[in-house]
Homo-oligomer: A and B are copies of this chain.
């Protein structure tokens, strides 16, 4: 089952880190962007080609030391169809290098509409009897606000195609509490969502005791995460918010149980490491950006392992 393959890869690399592939043009060395600006002008095509080249270099530099990458589709959709082509090619390239790919798409809709998303992002659409392959994600992220009708079409695809989803439970942003922390029957909304996620995942539990239906639980809310770890024993956590958003290894350690149970995302902290003071000195040529990213993955691994 896909969740077992993710756990295996985490054990092999000893690194519960997922690299967020959320490129911004400001992160990309000018030797890359200038080449494409010269060729295509300052166009979506040039932006997209730059992002793809950047991602490939990052993937080449880290694929052997991290289990997974998480491209954030918003960063690509920003540049329209050209951007989405770069997203597609990034997913394909990461798969080719043996990485688990978590598409951060936060899709949500109901019934046959959610089914259409599931077909395009996890399964296969049907064209008059001919199956039409989807993007080769292993997991995607999904928003739970619509309830079971919005989730079942995705879990059906997970069963059929051996894929997984991470459902938003408690997000890492400062105002996540506006809805997620509302108290209902003595429990916050995110805990109700947690109980639903456990239920949605009960038919997809793998050999390691975790389900292919996981949860997004922010690194910035230590106590809530600890509580969710308790009430969601079969749910693997995808943990955003480490680093740039203020989440620390000490805080998110509660998401783990016996050293597994979670994977921690870092985007900017890794892919833009070359712009940070602590790496600038060693990687003092923009062409070394991917090596800086590799070092940041190693440093993150050591930081996490110190605490879990």
Contact = CB atoms under 8 A, between A and B. Distances in A.
A253 interface: no
Interface string A11-54: 00000000000101100000001000100001110110000000
Contacts of A192: 179, 182
Interface residues of A, number: 71
A33 B128 contact: yes
A74 B109 contact: yes
Contact of A121 (B77, B108, B125, B179): B77
Contacts of A148: 175, 178
Contact of A120 (B80, B108, B177): B80
A168 B145 contact: yes
Contact of A144 (B174, B177, B179, B185): B179
Contact of A81 (B85, B106, B173): B85
Given A22-B113, A113-B75, A42 B130 contact: yes
Closest 5 CB pairs between A and B? A147-B178, A147-B175, A42-B130, A182-B184, A74-B116
Copies of this chain per assembly: 2
B173 A149 contact: yes
A127 B47 contact: yes
A84 B113 CA distance: 15
Contacts of A83: 120
Given A74-B113, A120-B78, A182-B192, A144 B146 contact: no
Interface in A159-183: 168, 171-180, 182-183
Contact of A79 (B80, B107, B120, B174): B120
A109 B111 contact: no
A92 to B, nearest CB: 12
A260 interface: no
Given A37-B128, A146-B173, A171-B146, A120 B74 contact: yes
Contacts of A177: 147
Contacts of A298: none
A232 B84 CA distance: 37
